[in-house]
Amino acid sequence: MLYLISLALAAAQPAAPFQIGVTAPALQTSVGNPATFDLGGFRLGMSEADVEAVMKARGMKVQRAMRVTTFEDNVRGLVNVRGGQLAMRGGSVLGEADLNDGKGGRVMLRFLAWPDGARVRSIAYLPPAGTDPTGWRSLLTGKYGPAASDSVSVDSNELHARWCGRARCVGVFGAFALSADVGPDGGVIALSQPDGTGDRLKVLVEAEAARRGPRGTPAL
């Protein structure tokens, strides 16, 4: 009986669009493909459980966390705004988490609330001070491959570089991207999904709310 109920609930819940780096993490890093990169052990598309496993394995501590409304309650809330009467379930999923890596660095994770739960949408690593720019360039290109040719600069203070899955990044939109602005004083390395990924989620919420919402009578 419980099995049948779980099947019914699964059928009622809309499926999130499967995409590596959005609703599922890559299994391994593919050089030159930012959708598959890992940063500090974390990958885009990871679930809360995936994140907890990485934290435990690396001995990281949560500095700050914020939870947000679930996909289900976002749908119910929109239905109710439009005149429906659906009870809110009051659940939450992880929206943000700032972590201490135990080595002087910080990891900042941001999530999107998809139908199957929270998934990592962006990762930012704030390294400790003390690494020279050439050292960062060697480390990052060794892990991710060459940066875009139009995005690399190294001076006596910092490395600036960008990876977008293309030979050149200027003018490229709608791509997974990793950027690095780091030097002896620290900096930030950021991995993010394409612009507009959050809008795809909004469309999914809208479509599900329209499917469940009250049907009005046409009138002139």
pLDDT mean values, one per 10 residues, the chain (220 residues): 38 73 96 95 97 96 97 96 93 97 95 97 94 84 90 79 85 85 91 94 95 70
Q: How many residues appear in the chain?
A: 220
pTM: 0.88
DSSP line for 22-40: TTB--SS--TT-GGG-EET
Backbone Cα Rg of the chain:
21
Give the CA dihedral 180, 182, 186, 191, nearest 10 degrees: 0
82-85, long-range: CB < 8 A, 24+ apart:
82/209, 82/213, 82/214, 83/213, 83/214, 84/212, 84/213, 84/214
> How far, in Å, CA of 219 to CA of 83, rounded?
17
